[in-house]
Amino acid sequence: MSSAAVVIIAILTLAAALAAATLQKLMHATLSFAVALVGVAGLFFLLGAEFVGLVLVFVYIGAVAVLIVFTILLTRRDVGKERAANWGGAFLAVAVFGGLTWAILKTQSVAVVAPHIRLVTVKRIGEALMTSYVWPLQCVGLLLTAALIGALVLVMEEKP
Amino acid sequence: MSKWVDQIFVYTKHWLLTWLTAAPGWIIQTVSSLINIFALLGVFLTLFAVMSVLERKILGRIQNRYGPNRVGPFGLLQPVADGIKMLIKEDIVPARADKLVHFMAPILIAAAAILALGVIPYGRNMTPFTIDGGILFFFAVGSTTELAVFMAGWGSNNKFSMLGAMRAIAQMISYELPLIITVLPVVMVVGSLTPDRIVAAQAEYTFGFVPRWFVFTPWGTTAFILFFVSGLVESNRTPFDVPEGESEIVAGHMTEYSGFKYATFFMAEYIGMFAITGLAATLFLGGWHSPVSALEFVPSYVWFFAKLSALLFVYIWLRGTLPRTRIDQIMNFAWKFILPMSFTCVIAAAVWHYAGRGLRGWLWSLVVIAIVYTALSMLLDTQRKFAPRVYRFAE
């Protein structure tokens, strides 16, 4: 049952990712990218990592996809036009894929490690973030605040 | 007896499932989920129909006219007539529209709105979809609405649609932040993201009669009001309905939709409203708990829907009372007032917790909120300049 669901979601995700890479219109590619992310979130749900799945939907669909959409609309005049194949991008994608595959093959098999992992609840993630990882969290917070202020400064300079 | 009435829906579901005891586990699971889904859809689509006619009646009362009164007794069958009208209308798709995107947008919006309903506890043991991070699920699903609105605006290939979608996304992103931050104090105080635990934390009564709802603490009251206003913006209702502003951009991202697709948008808007008010009732108004301990024999779902209806009435009341705000007023309000105040709520809740959650904590958190509110309003008042408006983007 579960493995069938994994296969279906994986096929859907891969199809959406392929569509994102090959579709002629940029906006269609963005939307298929969002579908692929939903598929990845679904995989996390099936693995029992609800929190990661939800954050993935929250951040990537709610923020990153909208950001991409806005970027496309604000920077390009030829949104509706068809695009040609981008060989540099393809090379980069193959390189990232190769790197990830190498890294995954080098890691210990998940099946060996799995029994030792405790169930990760939202509460445990919160506790870890607030105790052992509090400094990285603060650094990320600082970075985001700086980005926010930077955006404000960029907008304010426009004023006469 | 009262327990039996309280749990009647739960018992009915169990009784329905006893027919399937011989079936394999996954069939029982699927049927159980399907029962939940159909119950949810049945209840909320009925509520949508009732709400649409009641809204028009109440608006009529506020504006000193009758409202719909031709179809059925007191015009109560109006939604049936509207539904039939919407179903048999021609479905027009613009020739230059992006057919697939144009088609998917209403479906996606409705799906997101309905999914968000799933995590709200409607009564004792009556949460359709129990999940560890229920509150997070609610907002994660809600955040996909923005992309759907964009799809509607872009897919229609129409200036007004695009402008409306841009306005909608701008105000939804701006108000999503305060909406989530006002939920934070509740999550902090309860220590859980599960709606059931949040409701359970508000179960007791102080002195035996004052319910321990979070709305009765200073930070809770402030957070509730801010949450309510942000929810109003998120559901694109008057006074924050610039995305639809019919006097400026026809109907915003819904301009190019007709017939049943338009009805789907309309339904999604109302269901989103039910979801956000339901979450407000769950977080701050004690969910399905009764306001007085003497009235606990009344079934829990009655209390929940009573609170929901009260909040929905305020929505309609505001719509009948307030004029539409400008987009710059909405944005200023979000970033200069609502956001600082919602951060203050987080701090006030922390103060309340560390001062012992009693009367002392109550007073201290009141002091924190009063100081920030006064300082903020003084600051915003002195910065207000009365000068001719400069339109920078409309030259």
**Domain residue spans of chain B:** 2-382
Which pLDDT does position B26 carry in this prediction? 78
Task: Residue A27: list chain B partners with CB under 8 A.
Answer: 98, 101, 154
Q: Which residues contact B173 (CB under 8 A, 6 or more apart)?
A: A66, B146
Instruction: Say whether residue A77 is in contact with chain B using an 8 A CB cutoff.
Output: no
Q: Which among B31, B30, B28, B36 has a CA at the least distance from the CA of B10?
A: B36
Asked whether residue B293 carries a pLDDT value surpassing 90, the answer given is no
Express each pLDDT in A115-143 by its tens digit: 555 666 777 888 888 888 889 999 999 99
Asked whether residue A112 carries a pLDDT value surpassing 60, the answer given is no
- Secondary structure (DSSP) of B155-174: HTT-HHHHHHHHHHHHHHHH
Q: Nearest C-alpha of chain A: how many angstroms from B113?
A: 14
A45-to-A112, B18, B163, B261, B341 alpha-carbon distances in Å: 21, 29, 36, 31, 35
Cβ neighbours, 10 Å, residue B168: 25
Q: Nearest C-alpha of chain A: how many angstroms from B88?
A: 31
Which pLDDT does position A95 carry in this prediction? 93
B123, B301 Cβ separation under 8 angstroms: yes
Asked if B140 lies within 8 A of A51 by C-beta distance, the reply is: no
Of A31, A51, A122, the CB nearest to B151: A31
B214, B353 Cβ separation under 8 angstroms: no
Q: Nearest C-alpha of chain A: how many angstroms from B363?
A: 28
Which pLDDT does position B227 carry in this prediction? 92
Integer Cα distance of B253 and B164 in angstroms = 5
B161, B152 Cβ separation under 8 angstroms: yes
For B141, the 3-state DSSP assignment is helix
Give the ipTM of the model, two decimals please.
0.77
Which pLDDT does position A98 carry in this prediction? 93
The residue written with tokens 């229920």 in the block is: B134
Which pLDDT does position B337 carry in this prediction? 87
Of B132, B133, B150, the CB nearest to A66: B150
Write the CATH number of the domain with boundaries A2-84. Answer: 1.20.120.1200
Asked if A51 lies within 8 A of B191 by C-beta distance, the reply is: no
Question: In three state form, how does the secondary structure of chain A look?
Answer: CHHHHHHHHHHHHHHHHHHHHHCCEHHHHHHHHHHHHHHHHHHHHHCCCHHHHHHHHHHHHHHHHHHHHHHHHHHCCCCCCECCCCHHHHHHHHHHHHHHHHHHHHCCCHHHHHHHCCCCCHHHHHHHHHCCCHHHHHHHHHHHHHHHHHHHHHHHCCCC
Express each pLDDT in B337-390 by its tens digit: 888 899 998 998 888 888 877 788 888 888 888 888 888 888 887 766 666 766
- Average pLDDT for B121-136: 83
Asked whether residue A85 carries a pLDDT value surpassing 70, the answer given is no
Of A1, A27, A58, the CB nearest to B143: A58
pTM value is 0.84
Asked if B147 lies within 8 A of A58 by C-beta distance, the reply is: no
B218, B348 Cβ separation under 8 angstroms: yes
Of B101, B131, B144, the CB nearest to A62: B144
**Domain residue spans of chain A:** 2-84, 121-160
| Residue of A1, A25, A31 for testing the chain B interface, max B β-carbons within 10 Å | A31
Q: Nearest C-alpha of chain B: how many angstroms from A95?
A: 30
Q: Which residues contact B32 (CB under 8 A, 6 or more apart)?
A: B13, B17
A64, A34 Cβ separation under 8 angstroms: no
Task: Residue B140: list chain A partners with CB under 8 A.
Answer: 54-55, 57-58, 61-62
- Average pLDDT for B9-18: 80
Task: Residue A62: list chain B partners with CB under 8 A.
Answer: 140, 142-144, 146-147, 176
Express each pLDDT in A2-11 by its tens digit: 688 888 888 9
Q: By a Cβ cutoff of 8 Å, what residues of chain B touch chain A? A: 26, 98, 101, 131-133, 136-137, 139-144, 146-147, 150-151, 154, 169, 173, 176, 191-193, 392
Task: Residue A63: list chain B partners with CB under 8 A.
Answer: 143
